[in-house]
Amino acid sequence: MTAPTPATSATPATPLSYAHGTSATELLGDTVGRSLDRAIAAWPDREALVDVAAGARWTYAEFGSAVDRLARGFLGLGVAKGDRVGIWAVNCAEWVLTQYATARIGAIMVNINPAYRAHELEYVLNQAGISVLVASQTHKTSDYRAMVDAVHAKCPRLRSVHYIGDGSWDVLLDAAATVTEEQLHALEAELSCDDPVNIQYTSGTTGFPKGAVLSHHNILNNGYFVGEMIAYSEQDRVCIPVPFYHCFGMVMGNLAATSHGACMVIPAPSFDPAATLRAVQEERCTSLYGVPTMFIAELNLPGFASYDLSTLRTGIMAGSPCPVEVMKRVVAEMNMAEVSICYGMTETSPVSTQTRRDDDLERRTGTVGRVMPHIEVKVVDPVTGVTLPRGEAGELCTRGYSVMLGYWDEPEKTAEAIDAGRWMHTGDLAVMREDGYVQIVGRIKDMIIRGGENVYPREIEEFLYAHPKIADVQVVGVPDERYGEEILACVIPRDPDDTPTLEQITEFCRERLAHYKIPRRLEILTDFPMTVSGKVRKVELRRRYGVE
């Protein structure tokens, strides 16, 4: 007589919330440099990169030569395998060249958000131990040179800074003369696909960002399979208005393109809806990227209907849920019948789930797709870690080639995020439907996603505690039609008769915090709702001041 089967929370009729992306297409075992070499060999005369604002374009052969020269320049300056090279710049051709040049020599490129102010720059320079920095000179209200000058003396490992477009950039390029092509190729032959190639900083709950360390294997494969899902080939031209400092730009954009021989098109240094549509029209782009707010801005442009978008067929929307009406217009009015929705996080290179080319409108607007090839996802009880039946909400976890190597120089934080089974805990509350498609329904922690930017309240709170009029502060995200969420500061003033204004708080933050972290709403309170154990009930603040 057989033993009875132990009871589980799921019956055969309700499978567990686990999915594995099986695939007949093998993972790539290349480094980023070797993948680029294959594209150059296959399509030397096809365009690889167009910088519309600079009026410059490169074929794959020309792009490869430019990458090699910059790589030799870094070597000539003494950059070695494993050294950290910072890139603090808006979207431009030099950003892309730096991405591929550092990968060629085994250096680790550190992405620095161009919205950072001086104290945030100082932290990243020191935490990552950056020795060489590539930077823009100015953009809008940011004077990058002035901010570097303000912190350079406090960053002892920073040896040299090279500003794009001035003599210091020429110094970097001229250093290539001291290194031969043979030396470069010999060094590159010693690199492994498992070597770290990139550090991307994510906002931290402790008030400081953590540096997610990503390997060639992580980001090259993720870019490749994102491109596979929307059928990229050497015929495609990808318009990339999203920032390169995010995985969205440099992985889903650049690496998806070069791993398929497609062309990267940079419409402008930062997002400009008119410049984006002009680039699509003039460069005959087949694919367009953006967060929903970008697509909304493009659709609402005066004269939108005058742009010729007939060459578009696909694109990627990510960062926050897409409203149904917006998706309908993107498909119908922008000719993007095969537009795809992606979900992920920096720590997973980034994409874990994606909608497919032939998915219907409901799946594209009601879900974030299903598991990617060669990746596993599951939804677990946040307390017990047990996998839940499909249809129940729990924490989304992911495992596979895409999971980061860890947080730079923070083993304890790494262990908190990646468990003993190598599952990355996303902190997102999700539901896996019967059909395997995933819905994101909330966040376990208090992270705010404003217009595709991840913001942790603790960082803003710790900064605002220094304001002379603020005794206590709690920051929460509240629903916002345009940005998905907006930042609300709930403040208890030091003096009830001298309360801070939103304008004063904005001014206090302006030179010290990135613009997307600055609170846009303010509530003056006398006390906070508390739990019996003395913790602030942020959920109550969100409920009280947010319109669900």
Per-domain boundaries in the chain:
449-545
Residue 70, both tokens: 């910059």
Q: Read off the pLDDT band of 517 (50, 70, 90).
A: very high
Q: Read off the pLDDT band of 472 (50, 70, 90).
A: confident
For the cut 80, the answer to whether the pLDDT of residue 454 exceeds it is no
Buried-state track 507-524, b at ≥16 Cβ within 10 A, e below 16: ebbeeebbebbbbbebbe
pLDDT top residue among 462 and 522? 522
DSSP 253: I
For the cut 90, the answer to whether the pLDDT of residue 487 exceeds it is yes
Query: With pLDDT > 90 as the criterion, what percentage of the chain qualifies?
Result: 81
Is residue 378 classed as helix, strand or coil in its secondary structure? strand
- pLDDT score, position 296: 87
The conformational region for residue 216 under phi > 0 = left, psi -120 to 50 = alpha, else beta, is alpha
Q: Are 395 and 428 in contact (CB under 8 A)?
A: yes
**Alpha-carbon gap, residue 436 to 107, rounded angstroms:** 39
- pLDDT score, position 329: 92
- pLDDT score, position 357: 93
For the cut 70, the answer to whether the pLDDT of residue 179 exceeds it is yes
**Residues whose CB is less than 8 angstroms from the CB of residue 205 and which lie 6 or more positions away in sequence, other chains included:** 445, 456, 458
Q: Which amino acid is at 216?
A: H
Mean pLDDT for 155-159 is 98
- pLDDT score, position 462: 77
Mean pLDDT for 141-164 is 97
297-318 pLDDT tens trace = 899 999 999 999 999 999 999 9
Domain 449-545 in CATH 3.30.70.260? The answer is: no
- pLDDT score, position 317: 95
Q: Is 173 exposed, middle or buried (0-12, 13-18, 19+ CB in 10 A)?
A: middle
